[in-house]
Structure 1
Amino acid sequence: MLRISDVAYLVRDYDEAIVFFVQTIGFALREDETNAAGRRRVVVGPADGGTGLVLALADDAADTSPVVGNQAGGKVAFFLETDDFTAQHARMTAAGVTFREEPRHEVYGTVAVFEDLYGMPWDLIQPAAQS
Structure 2
Amino acid sequence: MRLRYTTLVVDDYDAAITFFVDVLGFELVEDSPATTSTTGAAKRWVVVRPPGADTGLLLARADGERQRAAVGDQFAGRVGHFLEVDDAAAEYERLVALGVEFEGPPRVEAYGTVAVFRDVAGNRWDLLSGP
Do they fold alike, i.e. is TM over 0.5?
yes
- In structure 2, the residue matched to 1:106 is 109
> Any idea what SS the aligned residue of 1:88 has?
helix
Q: Does 1:29 align with 2:32?
A: no
Aligned residues: 126
Partner amino acid for 2:49?
G
Q: Deviations over 1:80-101 (max 9, x none)?
A: 0011212211111111101101
The runs of 5 or more residues in structure 1 that have no matched partner are none
Partner amino acid for 1:34?
P
Question: After TM superposition, where is structure 1 displaced by more than 3 Å over at least 4 residues in a row?
Answer: 35-39
Distance (whole Å) between structure 2 residues aligned to residue 50 and residue 78 of structure 1: 15
Alignment of 1:1-131 (within 5 A): 2-35=1-34, 38-60=42-64, 65-128=68-131
CA offset at residue 39 of structure 1?
3.7
The runs of 5 or more residues in structure 2 that have no matched partner are none
Q: Deviations over 1:39-86 (max 9, x none)?
A: 41000110212311001111237x992200000001001000011212
Distance (whole Å) between structure 2 residues aligned to residue 12 and residue 78 of structure 1: 18
Which of 105-114 and 26-35 deviates more? 26-35
CA RMSD of aligned residues (A): 1.9
Distance (whole Å) between structure 1 residues aligned to residue 57 and residue 7 of structure 2: 6
> Any idea what SS the aligned residue of 2:129 has?
strand
CA offset at residue 18 of structure 1?
0.4
Partner amino acid for 1:51?
T
Partner amino acid for 1:107?
A
